[in-house]
């Protein structure tokens, strides 16, 4: 098991999926060796993340209106929140990226880390199943979920 797999609590059957999830698009611009990057996995991971968080909110906040659920979901899947999850896993350390991207602070950039986190979700989903991806997502979001249960977002009746 790799150090990152230990950190995330998941052992990949197909290690190429993990490699793809950790490959920033800038690599393919600088070398012919890599013919993949994490953008497609990010696309898939975003959809899985949205589904899991939406279902969780739907089941646990049965009395809330659709607008309130949307606000809660937006908070839980924001770029900043995803960056924090990625940083907690130290994902930036494991990313493969081009020299230019790295030189301009790519390992700490919010969009890069959020995208990598979504790509990791997509990779876990493809390597296993929805239930495993759901378990990973809810574990990463546990503190945020506990916080919104304790202090729900105020509803702005005008918007």
Residues annotated as catalytic are 46, 118
Contact 7, 109 (CB under 8 A): no
Tell me the C-alpha distance between 3 and 54, whole Å: 31
Residue 23, SS3?
strand
Helix spans in the chain (H): 3-8, 15-21, 26-30, 39-60, 66-76, 79-88, 91-94, 99-103, 110-127, 130-140, 142-150
Cβ proximity of 122 and 45 under 8 Å: yes
Q: Coil, strand, or helix at residue 96?
A: strand
> What is the spatial distance between Cα 17 and Cα 38, in angstroms, rounded to a whole number?
9
How far apart CA 143 and CA 99 sit, in angstroms, is 35
């Amino acid at each position: 098991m790799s150090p990152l797999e230990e950190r995330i609590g998941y052992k990949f059957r197909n290690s190429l999926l993990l490699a793809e999830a950790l490959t920033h698009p800038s690599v393919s611009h600088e070398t012919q060796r890599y013919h993949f990057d994490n953008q497609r996995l990010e696309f898939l991971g975003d959809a899985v993340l949205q589904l899991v968080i939406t279902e969780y909110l739907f089941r646990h906040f049965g009395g809330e209106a659709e607008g309130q659920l949307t606000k809660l979901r937006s908070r839980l899947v924001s770029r900043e929140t995803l960056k924090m999850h990625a940083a907690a896993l130290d994902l930036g350390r494991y990313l493969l990226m081009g020299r230019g991207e790295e030189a301009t602070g790519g390992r700490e950039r919010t969009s890069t880390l959020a995208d990598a986190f979504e790509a990791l979700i997509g990779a876990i989903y493809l390597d296993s199943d929805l239930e495993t991806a759901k378990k990973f997502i809810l574990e990463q979001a546990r503190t945020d979920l506990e916080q919104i249960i304790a202090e729900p977002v105020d509803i702005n009746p005008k918007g």
